[in-house]
């Protein structure tokens, strides 16, 4: 250490120049570091979804989910596999061991799916892998509504224009659209008119498929797209392009039936323009609308991605006349800005307090300046190391830096104070020792004790780096930033602090009177210390009392993985009984959003119901989520209490007010949005329900449990179709024909592309 301090004193001007350059260029690099709310706390995961339109959850589970689980089981480094099966959709999420290469895991899953796809029923869409997203995947929620534009037209604009533009923003992984109503031509077959004209449903379907260029019935002639070809003349070649004549409902209605040329489609069906059957919906500020949910990649910068999305929306606004765009329904960047602002303010206040204390105790502005320079320099070194490690700036990293300020300040103050005291002593005693030698000795005099204290601080934090799971993902960045700041502070104290002391204190007047505050405190401390030395028993009793009280109070303190952050965005689950219809869920959700918007301090409210294509919500139409944005200027606690009180006024619903972070951490831990889940496995569903009631009764007596409930797995009313084989044989109808015809009439089926 003597060599390091000696070198710093000898080349002090070069060292200060390098430190200034590090601050200047470091600030530029640190500004480009990715910023997020929290560190990436979820293990590598891959989600596989399979659309199964028209199938109930039992059929999806047995014919799609289970075969895919069997195929994916055993993938290298697979840790946990969870699946959900609901009507029309199967979802399998694979969690891999920490440290697994995400892209390699996706490649392995893709290889398994390519083999498993051939074993799935033909009516199941090919399984697809969802885009890679971060644990806090949602980066922005955008509400679209209009009083003049129909939702079908708005949906087409959102899908083909807005979504396509948002996907071009760097960092955006996916854009899901709730409430989407895609415009399409529909042939709504009328069984009465078909029976009266002797027309079968197959004839209507084949006629529709053959009426356009690209039919979807593989066995029909329309499945083969005819080529245009070309004509050669004496001088040129003319390419033949067939212009589709059927583009409107009126044109399609006039297409003659295949086996009854005298009849048209309009004679046996209603041909009109409508949208697909809805498996989800959206409510934006109390009215039907579209809710665009934007997800980000794990490596994306939340602030840059958000600003890029907002710039893209600003570019689109001039072309979206009559469309209300609300981009404040859910915006995590607001919380990030607020957190960084608050922590920056804390750093500034802490630095100012240090300056005040230094001046009060030393009565010397030069010593305060040296300490003030040492603090930001130490933090900058720590941030640059984090930048080189590819880390992100988040709440946990900043919290570690704020905690480290105490050690950083201690390093600077102890060194400067001892140098100041030794220089003053040297001048008072008239020693011939050089100023540089005095500073060297003074710095080394306290350095050994400071190094040992610093190493003790670091050793205490070592177990944090070996934490696993969610706890380790959250607290390792905090510990790492703290350790880097402390090590940087020790390096600065060995180099920059002595160099600045030699430059600023070598000719400074150090013979001033002793500071009054220090004299007063020293007198009081001396008086107390003399009494303790004379009668140490009182001190022992006091320490023992404090320890005993601490041991009594400690078990009564609550335990939480994370503190409660004052986020301004909330969500409420809005879950009705299984089997609830889409209109009823939409009605209740709309009423809820109206009541929530009436609360003072609530800025915007948006809600999504059920599913959306390429979305993470694998639920039925009885599942809704209300997203609430609270005004930054509103009184936080009363507003939250009003929201919870309003939500609690709706009986019969399973509802809960929580932040997005809380929900995502619970999903990583348990696979659901609940903090503690008890799972019971077995082949007999009635027995499982009995056991679930027993477990619920046993848990109900535990103090502190809130929202205790069984999972909503209940018998849902169904319309069952059972084929009478004797009658079917009489009419020459097979059971499969009945199912296919009923499915087409009730849930529709795509037959052509325009």
Residue 445 has pLDDT above 60, yes or no: yes
Q: What is the mean pLDDT of residues 512-536?
A: 79
Q: What confidence score (pLDDT) does residue 686 get?
A: 76
Q: What confidence score (pLDDT) does residue 295 get?
A: 92
Say which residue the tokens 């969500």 belong to: 571
Are the C-beta atoms of 207 and 265 separated by less than 8 Å?
A: yes
Residue 747 has pLDDT above 70, yes or no: no
Identify whether 505 is part of a domain: no
Q: What is the mean pLDDT of residues 432-454?
A: 77
Identify whether 586 is part of a domain: yes
Interaxial angle between packed helices 12-31 and 365-388, expressed in degrees from 0 to 180 and rounded to the nearest 10? 50
Specify the higher pLDDT residue, 733 or 295.
295
Identify whether 311 is part of a domain: no
Q: What confidence score (pLDDT) does residue 718 get?
A: 77
**Percent of the chain topping pLDDT 90:** 16
Residues 662 and 743 in one domain: no
Q: What confidence score (pLDDT) does residue 713 get?
A: 64
Identify whether 443 is part of a domain: no
Q: What confidence score (pLDDT) does residue 558 get?
A: 66
Token representation of residue 114? 């390519």
Residues 586 and 674 in one domain: yes
**pTM greater than the 0.95 cutoff:** no
Residue 672 has pLDDT above 80, yes or no: no
Residues 637 and 728 in one domain: no
Identify whether 147 is part of a domain: no
Outline where 363-468 has alpha helix (H). 365-388, 395-429, 435-461
Residues 656 and 584 in one domain: yes
Residues 651 and 589 in one domain: yes
Q: Determine the Cα–Cα distance for residues 698 and 696; give it in Å rounded to an integer.
A: 5
**CATH number of the domain enclosing 588:** 3.30.70.1430
pLDDT, tens digit (0-9, with 9 covering 90-100), for 107-159: 999 999 988 888 888 778 889 999 998 888 889 999 999 888 999 999 999 99
**Average pLDDT score over the chain:** 83
Identify whether 741 is part of a domain: yes
Total Cβ atoms within 10 A of residue 489: 28
Residue 669 has pLDDT above 70, yes or no: no
- Cα–Cα distances (Å) from 686 to 362, 575, 669, in that order, read 78, 23, 28
Token representation of residue 261? 């040329």
Q: Which H or E run includes 315?
A: helix 302-316
Q: What confidence score (pLDDT) does residue 144 get?
A: 93
Number of H helices, E strands in the chain: 25, 20
Domain limits for position 737:
184-224+243-274+723-753
Outline where 213-301 has alpha helix (H). 249-253, 265-268
**CATH number of the domain enclosing 257:** 3.30.2090
Residues 659 and 730 in one domain: no
pLDDT, tens digit (0-9, with 9 covering 90-100), for 72-108: 998 999 988 989 888 889 999 999 988 899 999 999 9
Residues 614 and 732 in one domain: no
Q: What is the mean pLDDT of residues 505-511?
A: 68
Residues 573 and 694 in one domain: yes
Identify whether 296 is part of a domain: no
Closest CA to 132 of 105, 155, 150: 105
Q: What confidence score (pLDDT) does residue 634 get?
A: 85
Contacts of 410 (CB under 8 A, 6+ apart): 450
Q: How many domains does the chain have?
A: 2
Residues 577 and 682 in one domain: yes
- Of the pLDDT bands very low, low, confident and very high (cuts 50, 70, 90), residue 315 is very high
Residues 738 and 647 in one domain: no
Closest CA to 265 of 184, 182, 183, 201: 201
Give SS3 for 434.
Answer: coil
Identify whether 516 is part of a domain: no
Q: What confidence score (pLDDT) does residue 750 get?
A: 55
Residues 676 and 743 in one domain: no
Residues comprising the chain, all counted: 754
Closest CA to 280 of 135, 195, 179, 376: 179
Residues 742 and 649 in one domain: no
Token representation of residue 321? 């006349």
Are the C-beta atoms of 101 and 117 separated by less than 8 Å?
A: no
pLDDT, tens digit (0-9, with 9 covering 90-100), for 152-170: 999 999 999 999 999 999 9
């Amino acid at each position: 250490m003597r060599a390091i301090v000696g070198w710093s004193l000898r080349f002090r001007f070069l060292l200060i120049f390098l430190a200034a350059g590090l601050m200047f260029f470091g600030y530029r690099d640190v500004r480009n570091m990715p910023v997020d709310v929290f560190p990436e706390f979820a293990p590598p995961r891959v989600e596989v979804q399979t659309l199964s339109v028209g199938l109930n959850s039992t059929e999806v589970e047995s014919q799609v989910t289970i075969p895919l689980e069997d195929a994916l089981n055993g993938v290298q480094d697979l840790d946990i596999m969870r699946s959900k099966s609901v009507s029309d959709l199967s979802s399998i999420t694979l969690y891999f061991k920490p440290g697994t290469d995400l892209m390699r895991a996706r490649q392995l899953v893709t290889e398994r799916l390519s083999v498993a796809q051939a074993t799935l029923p033909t009516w199941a869409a090919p399984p697809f892998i969802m885009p890679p997203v971060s644990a806090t995947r949602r980066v922005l929620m955008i509400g679209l509504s209009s009083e003049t534009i129909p939702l079908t037209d708005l949906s087409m604009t959102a899908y083909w224009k807005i979504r396509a533009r948002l996907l071009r923003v760097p960092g955006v992984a996916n854009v899901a659209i709730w409430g989407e109503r895609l415009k399409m031509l529909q042939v709504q077959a009328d069984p009465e008119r078909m029976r009266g004209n002797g027309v079968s449903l197959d004839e209507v379907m084949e006629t529709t498929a053959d009426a356009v260029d690209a039919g979807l019935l593989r066995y029909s002639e329309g499945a083969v797209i005819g080529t245009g070809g070309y004509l050669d003349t004496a001088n040129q070649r003319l390419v033949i392009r067939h212009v589709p004549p059927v583009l409107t409902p009126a044109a399609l209605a006039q297409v003659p039936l295949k086996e009854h040329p005298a009849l048209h489609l309009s004679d046996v069906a209603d041909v009109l323009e409508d949208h697909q059957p809805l498996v989800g919906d959206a409510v934006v500020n109390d009215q039907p609308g579209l809710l665009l949910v934007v997800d980000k990649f794990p490596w994306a910068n939340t602030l840059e991605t958000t600003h890029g999305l907002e710039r893209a929306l600003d570019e689109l606004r001039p072309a979206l006349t009559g469309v209300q765009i609300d981009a404040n329904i859910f915006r995590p960047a607001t919380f990030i800005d607020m957190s960084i602002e608050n922590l920056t303010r804390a750093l500034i206040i802490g630095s100012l307090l240090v300056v005040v204390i230094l001046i009060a105790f030393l009565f010397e502005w030069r010593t305060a300046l040296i300490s003030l320079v040492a603090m930001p320099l130490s933090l900058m070194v720590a941030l640059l190391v984090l930048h080189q490690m590819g880390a992100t700036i988040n709440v946990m990293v900043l919290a570690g830096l704020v905690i480290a300020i105490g050690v950083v300040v201690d390093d600077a103050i102890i060194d400067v104070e001892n140098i100041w005291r030794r220089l003053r002593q040297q001048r008072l005693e008239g020693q011939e020792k050089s100023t540089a030698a005095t500073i060297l000795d003074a710095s080394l005099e306290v350095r050994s004790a400071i190094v040992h204290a610093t190493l003790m601080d670091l050793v205490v934090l070592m177990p944090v780096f070996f934490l696993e799971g969610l706890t380790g993902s959250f607290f390792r960045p905090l510990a790492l930033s703290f350790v880097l700041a402390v090590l940087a502070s020790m390096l600065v104290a060995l180099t920059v602090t002595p160099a600045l002391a030699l430059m600023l204190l070598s000719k400074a007047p150090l013979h001033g009177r002793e500071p009054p505050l220090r004299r007063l405190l020293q007198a009081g401390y001396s008086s107390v210390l003399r009494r303790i030395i004379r009668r140490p028993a009182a001190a022992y009793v006091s320490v023992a009392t404090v320890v005993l009280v601490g041991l009594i109070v400690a078990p009564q303190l609550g335990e939480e993985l994370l503190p409660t952050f004052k986020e301004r965005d909330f969500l409420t689950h809005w879950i009705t009984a299984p089997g609830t219809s889409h209109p009823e869920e939409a009605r209740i959700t709309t009423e809820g959003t109206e009541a929530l918007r009436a609360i003072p301090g609530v800025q915007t409210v948006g809600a999504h119901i059920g599913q959306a294509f390429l979305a993470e919500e694998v639920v039925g139409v009885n599942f809704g989520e209300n997203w609430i944005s609270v005004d930054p200027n509103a009184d936080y606690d009363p507003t939250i209490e009003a929201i919870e009180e309003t939500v609690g006024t709706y009986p019969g619903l399973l509802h809960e007010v929580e932040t997005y972070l809380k929900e995502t951490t619970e999903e990583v831990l348990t696979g659901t949005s609940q903090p503690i889940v008890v799972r019971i496995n077995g082949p007999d569903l009635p027995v499982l329900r009995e056991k679930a009631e027993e477990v619920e009764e046993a848990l109900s007596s535990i103090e502190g449990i809130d929202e205790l409930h069984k999972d909503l797995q209940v018998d849902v009313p169904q319309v069952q179709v059972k084929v009478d084989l004797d009658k079917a044989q009489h009419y020459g109808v097979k059971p499969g024909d009945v199912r296919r015809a009923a499915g087409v009439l009730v849930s529709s089926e795509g037959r052509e592309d325009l």
